[in-house]
Amino acid sequence: MDVLTTRRRTAWWQPLLVLLAYVIVASCLAVRPTRRSEPSFPHRVHVVDQKLECAFCHARARADDQPGMPPPELCAPCHERFDPQKPPERRLSAFFDGGRYRRLADARLPGDVAFSHRRHVTEAGLVCTGCHTDILEQDDVPLLPLVTKDGCMDCHRQHGSGNECRVCHATIDRSWRPHSHDRDWTHAHGNVARGGSTDNQDRCSLCHTETGSCRTCHQLSPPRDHDQQFRRRTHGLSASLDRARCAVCHTTDSCAQCHQQTPPQNHRGGFGAPGHRHCNGCHLPLADNGCRVCHPQASSHAAAAPLPGDHSPAMNCRLCHGNGVRLPHPDGGHVCTACHR
């Protein structure tokens, strides 16, 4: 009985061991050496080492919208001498599928974008390396676009070509709205604008300017949290946390003007004269950037009556003052000699 019990207690891990072995074997079978289905073209070898001009291979770049690719007959005279010493994946036949060149680079331009090499090379007189800046040092054709949208727009600004939508787009114009703008975009665009996404549909600056359309709309359309509760009580906390948000619509002058005309919620009966109970809410020593914002003519606490000559700071003032005799100010429990010295 003890032997059977021991076997049952020790056999629980055996199925786990079999499962682990199965996973290891399956993983090893799944990992196979990968081979490139298409070769990698080294521009550096052809442009720098062999000193070939870009138009030698891309002969249609000056006359057509597309630069064109070289036929195998153009490459054959040189490769017939080099290929016997090269591995099969580096020979001329690996670069062509019949008479078609196996292009690795993908411009990834949307169908709406109209780009013409002829307009840039022949009409504008741009050199190829002006856009393809790193092509001379590359031993591999990049799969990502060779030129970014920002690079095109910067070049257009420098050459005075303009960055209106119609310059590059066939159908997109200022009235076109991305798909993200179809839903509750009015309330959701703030998080996207602050998110820092580089996607074109999330880049507000492509269509909007911060000092123009953004500020104009924000000044005319108050945020959803600007309700009565926000106006009367909670806007002060929001302003202390994010003053830049308020500055979109409000200036310091407008804040001061409103605060001078609208008393705070705690300014109720007894707050001012003759009780002056507002003093109880202050902390000593006082700072001039508090009450004086609204009460510039208020007297300073430093102008309090001096301590009489026959009084010492060690005396208990409340034994005589305030004991049946009304004080000129409320007793907040502070040390009297902080003001009366």
pLDDT > 50? residue 187: yes
Q: Is 258 exposed, middle or buried (0-12, 13-18, 19+ CB in 10 A)?
A: exposed
**Who has greater pLDDT, 103 or 109?**
109
Q: Which residues pair with 96 in a beta bridge?
A: 101
Report yes or no: 66 and 109 within 8 Å, Cβ to Cβ.
no
Half-sphere exposure of 293 (CA within 13 A, CB side): 16
**Residue 3's pLDDT band (cuts 50, 70, 90):** very low
pLDDT at 36: 44
Report angle CA 331, 336, 339 to the nearest 5 degrees. Answer: 110
| Among the ranges given (56-60, 131-135, 145-149, 310-314), the one the predictor scored with the smallest mean pLDDT | 145-149
- DSSP-derived letter for residue 210 is I
Query: Residue 181's pLDDT band (boundaries 50, 70, 90)?
Result: confident
Give me the residues paired with residue 100 across strands. 97
> Within a 10 A sphere around the Cβ of 121, how many other Cβ atoms?
21
Average pLDDT over all residues of the chain: 77
What CA–CA distances, in Å, run from 233 to 146, 208, 222, 236, 244?
55, 33, 17, 7, 19
pLDDT at 284: 44
Residue of 181, 176, 247 lying closest to 218 (CA atoms): 247
Determine the Cα–Cα distance for residues 80 and 92; give it in Å rounded to an integer: 8
Q: Which residues pair with 97 in a beta bridge?
A: 100
Domain spans of the chain, in order of start: 43-147, 228-261
